[in-house]
Structure 1
Amino acid sequence: MSDSFDTSLPPFDRLTPDQQHRLIDSLDVAYYRHGETLIEAGSACDQLFIIIKGSVEESSADGKEVFAHYTTDDMFDVRAQLEAHCRHRYRALEDTLCHLLPRDVFQDLYHHNSQFAAYFATSLARRQQLLEEAQRQQNLAEFILTKVDDDNIQPCLILPRHCSLQTATEQLQQQRSDAALVEAGDGQPYGIITRTNLLHAVMLEGYPHDAPVGQVATSPVISVNKGDYLFNAMLAMTRHKVKRVSVVDGDKLAGMLDLTQVLSLFSTHSHVLTLRIARASTIEELALAAGSQTRLVETLFNNGIHTRFVMELIATVNEQIIEKAFQLVVPQALHNHCCLIVMGSEGRGEQILKTDQDNALILADGVDWPGLAEVMETLTHTLHQLGYPLCPGKVMVNNPKWVKTKSEWLHTLKDYAFEGNEETMMDLAILADSHAVAGNRELLAPVKHRLHELMAEQELLLATFTRPALRFSVPLSLFGKLKANKDGLDIKQGGVFPIVHGIRALALENGIEANNTFLRIEQLEARKVLEPSTASNLSEALKLFIKLRLRQQLDQQAGGMQQHLKIEPLSRAERDLLRHSLHVVKKFKEWLGYHYQIRD
């Protein structure tokens, strides 16, 4: 019996209390000297090994091929517990102490606890899901993952279009409601009317009391689906700057949700932040609002909110901050004659904490703007004030290279594709993630269309374009162990970039217009470019890299996303997932090299 065994570690936290007690009662402890063989290839393995202290190497029977290294809290050989014999040899690399769990006990737990068994599945997505479930049970965030259902949907008052303003006001008062939907007729979507709309219509705009409410109602009404996450309703309100959404159940109207309801559950007040951004009339006021963004991220993350949800919400908030800065700096008369675009992680909607500025400007053809350079310098400085660091590569609007008319951008793209070297391909890669955030957003569409037109199915160009994804080695040793230096493990170059850039190349090849890497992966899977298992594993690996970087960033309270990841603070389960994820990246890079016939 071992009283020191920690059953809170995955996957043992999946066991019932009785199963955990049986596990602990069944454990033994064994000591192995440096160089001693724990399991010989081809032999039966009668127990599962869980390392207390030390290091063990897994290799082929002849020792010529090394598959992995195991250290504190790692376990082996799970496969041998379910098969007749062990396939590989396990040897102690130093004096090692292990817990031993008898095979018959492990098999009984495996066959009688589906969650425990699922942990040992090879699917990275499933293992990541189980780890996230365990973490969510330790926080208060589950309420945000509540579904939109009858428990939180409000009944909705529906008024005919020709109902008078006075009657509408009376019915709202009788129902003790602040808003109602208004029938539009002719198969059109509903409009919406609020008490504030009614007050303004009569007192400020001079509508008579008997005017039809349809003349005052606004449309269309933003809607969410019954059964969707309540968090997504909050996201819809934030993105569209509204306080109410309708809830639909298939083709039927189910009711409404309003901001007060959601804020009563959602204590981080993200919508309050967006209202402060919208109301800012000076850069100083905007800076105060933007300064609370990190606290919002920290609250969401520490409450266990899904990483992709946090990215979506923060991308929306970032867009509103940058758009407001543009409105405050750029003269109003020129707003419709230019388009500010963001690129990089901001353009993909994958930025969580503020990173370097990556932006450009598209000018309408023929626009006369004598003070353009000065205004762009001010905008760059303003964004810096708001917490967006200057880009070391000078991919910013204060650099004339990234400020052109629409025609000049179209000509530049053609030149880049014609030159076809790695430098111009990286500029195209930057532009491939461009997203319009302010000004006349329609100016971006022809530029993006030309970029996709130039790159689609261009095998030689795409091979050059993709090559940088294969340049950086995956931070794994020859023995499959995590490889880090004194600064940590380079997760950006070795993990994030190969996935992001490789998927970007495949998206351009296949004419996929989405910017977000996760959406690109989903569409590549739908088009059968990626196998479902590959798509799932790539998404989960990228999500894990972002999550681990963000957690260490918040712990360190430093500026900018950290490129290096410290291994020591990670739990055994997280190290295991990280190792698995990096193997996914390694396999994807091999596939990319084959797909584009890249031979170095």
Structure 2
Amino acid sequence: MPDTFNTSLIPFDRLDSSQQDTLLKALDVAYFRSGEVIIRAGDPCQSLHIIIKGSVEETSADRQEHFAHYTTDDLFDVRAQFSGHSRHQYRATEDTLCYLLPQAHFTGLCQQNPAFAAYFNSDLATRQQLLEQAHQQQNLAEFILTRVRQDNIQPCLILPADTDLRTATTRMRQSNCDAAFIIVDDTTEQAGHRFGIVTRTDLLHAVMLDNRAPSTAVGQIATSPVISIELGAYLFNAMISMTRHKVKRVLVTQGDAIAGMLDMTQVLSLFSTHSHVLALRIARATSIQELALAADSQQALVETLFNNGIHTRFLMELIASINEQIIEKAFQLVVPERWQPLCCLLVLGSEGRGEQILKTDQDNALILADNIDWPECQTVMTQLSDTLCQLGYPPCPGRVMVNNPDWVKSVSGWQHTLQTCCDKGDEAAMMTLAILADAQAIAGNRQLLAPVKHHLHQRLSSQELLLATFARPALKFSVPLTLFGQIKRGKSGPDIKRGGIFPIVHGIRTLALEHNVAETNTFRRLTVLEQRQVLEPSTASNLSEALKLFIRLRLRQQLSLPAGTASAGQHHLLDLATLSRAERDLLRHSLHVVKKFKEWLGYHYQIRD
């Protein structure tokens, strides 16, 4: 057997050197003419086929149904290796050359190497995990897989709430720490609400600025609740919590007990990222110019994290948090302070779902408190939209922005709009409902969103006919798969947004509204729907993994393109030539997951075209 077989291809790279040597010795080569049947339905399994060149179609025995199409580096018939016989027919559609791995040798390798066997598991999450492992860099384990442990946290000082300021200061000095946790309520169930925190700065301000007496109880100046994280959680999650809540310390708990504390200095010493530094620059910005300088470094942060192998979910959460802080800061700098408690800025679309990584078009709206008179509102909102443009968020082509009066309304005004959309039930009305279903409050009086969201869920929950109309766009765009089950290549590549991302996002959004799920993030919606037994665990897992794959492949392509070389629409067209065989295999598998989900949606909502 010639030694030209590429053992670095997934999953053969999972084999050790002796197993790879066994593989190479067992391989044979076979040639099939165009039109020749390679395997007939019902034939006993003899070999795993690995295509060197050519193409093969998988069909039913009568060729009335086509299942898949295979080309260079693809494997078939994997199912038969485990069942012992072939369910379908395989026919060469052009002159084809294949490696043959005898079934006995394949089975032996699977028994010897669990990682090799796991690749052939039909579960998409397992296969994607193996692909991610193949692309990991050396520092991935340090960056992502490090957990909060006893050896990377520090002990913390705990004081009763009635401790006076003088004693608290002395105890902190003796313990050589700059913060103490205060027991504020022993009866509350949630650990985060049982404690407050006081820092050296708090003590200084209390005595020097607020003229507090040294005998004042420390509980009176403590900040509560305290942000906490469980012992054993990922350190990266601790960083996300600090960034999102704009704090420098988190309490580490173990059940109901305190295990210690973790501060940003420790995290930064373990991670070579500047995400918290960026968050501090955003928080300290006193002008639009300073904020713009901070926002400009966001792209570099995304590239650094992505190139270091950071998991897609972690990356989305961190960048969503930073985006929120940039937009919230812009709101605080532009909107007069007296009006900020009387309005609420919403982000919509992927930004509202926390699924946007790179900056895209503005999608925002404003809720005003009822019965307020703010004549300058439109002028201020126009200024806010212009400011966001300065910060790298281009205008929305559909004008879903706060500088458009249609997207600035009072609480009762938005409730009336929702009612009108439900009554109309046309395509434009359903689009408005879909946009508002993902709304996230990020600045101003965030409580103003609650009655609007409640009204939306109340109007749509269990409304079968209306939900069927709402769900229809998820079935509008075809999945980019050929009749043979192969990825449609086309001239520009498959549109992964229309054919993959949108059907999952909108389908899950519809189910979330039907079952009154408050979450806006698609991944968290999937978790809740699985918990409520709306979706099978395998379905929820496969949809989650497919969506992560689509987002990651699109992001990688976006980062590889020079700025300004492609339109927004082209960013969604995947260049299949840049994908490895394993990635194409995963993409094809994921698109089949989407196709199956769309079929389920059509049945669930009784949608017939």
Q: Tell me the TM-score normalised to structure 2 length.
A: 0.95
* Alignment match, 1:31: 31
- Distance in 1 of aligned mates of 2:512 and 2:205: 48
Task: Tell me if 1:135 matches 2:140.
Answer: no
Letter in 2 for 1:593: G
Alpha-carbon distance, 1:210 to partner:
4.2
Deviation at 1:141, TM superposition (A): 4.8
Partner of 1:564: 573
Give 5+ residue unaligned stretches, structure 2: 189-193
Q: Deviations over 1:335-361 (max 9, x none)?
A: 111111111001111111111111111
Classify 1:330/1:410 alpha carbon distance in 2 versus 1 (closer, same or farther; 3 Å).
same
Q: Distance in 1 between matches of 2:558 and 2:587?
A: 17
Question: Paired residue for 2:57?
Answer: 57
Match of 1:337 in 2: 342
Report Cα offsets for 1:520-563 as digits up to 9, x if no partner.
11111111111111111111111111111111111114465821
Distance 1:515 1:132, change over 3 A: same
Provide the C-alpha distance between the structure 2 equivalents of 1:434 and 1:102, rounded to a whole number of angstroms.
Answer: 55
Q: CA deviation at 1:95?
A: 2.7
Equivalent position SS for 1:86: coil
Name the structure 2 match of 1:351: 356
Amino acid at match of 2:360: T
Q: Between Structure 1 and Structure 2, how many residues are aligned?
A: 600
Q: Does residue 574 in structure 1 map to residue 595 in structure 2?
A: no
Distance across 2 between alignment mates of 1:451 and 1:160? 45
Alignment partners' CA distance in 2, 1:482 and 1:397: 40
Deviation for aligned residue 1:488: 1.3
8 Å CA contact retained: 1:141, 1:305? no
Q: Residues 109-124 of structure 1: matches in 2 within 5 Å?
A: 109-124=109-124
Tell me, which stretches of 5 or more residues in structure 1 are unaligned? none
Deviates more, 1:31-40 or 1:528-537: 31-40
Q: Of residues 212, 218, 226 in structure 2, which corresponds to 1:213?
A: 218
Aligned partner of 2:409 in structure 1 is 404
Equivalent-residue separation in structure 2 for 1:405 and 1:211 (angstroms): 44
Alpha-carbon distance in 1 for matches of 2:356, 2:277: 21
Q: 2:530·2:540 contact (CA, 8 Å) conserved in 1? A: yes
1:154 is aligned to 154
**Contact 2:137–2:308 (Cα < 8 Å) also in 1:** no
What is the alpha-carbon distance in structure 2 between the residues aligned to residue 315 and residue 599 of structure 1? 37
| CA shift in 2, pair 1:85/1:296, >3 Å | same
Q: 1:441 aligns with which of 439, 443, 446?
A: 446
The answer as to whether partners of 2:140 and 2:310 remain within 8 angstroms in 1 is: no
Q: Does 1:475 align with 2:480?
A: yes
TM-score, length basis structure 1: 0.96
2:18 aligned residue = 18
Q: How does 1:363-402 map to 2 (within 5 A)?
A: 363-402=368-407
Post-superposition, which runs of at least 4 consecutive aligned residues in structure 1 deviate over 6 A?
none
Shift of 1:211: 3.7
1:269 to 261, 267, 274: 274
Residue 185 (structure 1) shift = 4.8
Counterpart in the other structure of 1:289: 294
Q: What whole-Å deviation, never above 9, does each CA across 1:86-107 have from its counterpart, x for those lacking one?
A: 2222222223232221221111
> Identity over the aligned pairs, expressed in percent?
68
1:278 to 259, 262, 283: 283
What CA distance in whole angstroms lies between the structure 1 residues aligned with 2:257 and 2:65?
Answer: 62
Letter in 1 for 2:605: Y
Amino acid at match of 1:571: S
Query: Shift in Å at residue 139 of structure 1?
Result: 4.8
Counterpart residue number, 1:76: 76
Q: Which moved more, 1:263-272 or 1:208-217?
A: 208-217
Mapped pair 1:361 → 2:370: no
Counterpart secondary structure, 1:52:
strand
* Aligned partner letter, 1:473: S
Distance 1:6 1:518 in 2: 36
CA distance in 2, matches of 1:275, 1:502: 38
For residue 52 of structure 2, what is the amino acid of its counterpart?
Answer: I
The match for 1:187 is: 187
Aligned counterparts of 1:207 and 1:370: Cα–Cα separation in 2: 42
Secondary structure in 2 aligned to 1:217?
A: coil
Letter in 1 for 2:537: P
Q: Confirm or deny that 1:101 pairs with 2:110.
A: no
Picking from 229, 237, 241, the partner of 1:232 is: 237
Q: 1:144·1:266 contact (CA, 8 Å) conserved in 2?
A: no
Structure 1 residue 131, shift from structure 2 partner: 1.7
Tell me, in whole angstroms, the C-alpha distance in 1 between the residues paired with 2:479 and 2:362.
27
- Which of residues 240, 246, 250 is equivalent to 1:241? 246
Aligned equivalents of 2:158 and 2:287: distance in 1? 40
> Match of 2:3, SS?
coil
RMSD, matched Cα: 1.7
CA contact 1:141–1:304 (8 Å) conserved in 2: no
One-letter code aligned to 2:153: I
Cα offset for 1:186? Answer: 4.7
Q: 1:229 to 1:584 in 2, by over 3 A?
A: same
The Cα offsets for residues 140-161 of structure 1, whole Å up to 9 and x where unpaired, read as 3543321111121211122233
3-state SS, counterpart of residue 568 of structure 1: helix
The residue that corresponds to 2:191 in the other structure is none
Partners of 1:591 and 1:166 in 2: CA distance: 66
How far 1:271 moved relative to its partner? 1.0
What is the CA–CA distance in structure 1 between the aligned matches of 2:270 and 2:186, rounded to whole Å? 37
Find 1:509's aligned residue among 514, 535, 541. Answer: 514
Number of the residue aligned with 2:168: 168
**Aligned-partner Cα distance in 2 for 1:304–1:455:** 40
Is 2:94 the partner of 1:89?
no
**Once the 2 structures are TM-superposed, how far is the Cα of residue 44 of structure 1 from its aligned partner?**
2.8
* In 1: Cα distance, 2:412 partner to 2:225 partner: 35
Query: Does residue 1:223 correspond to 2:223, yes or no?
Result: no
1:592 paired residue number:
601
Is the CA contact (8 Å cut-off) linking 2:495 and 2:573 kept in structure 1? yes
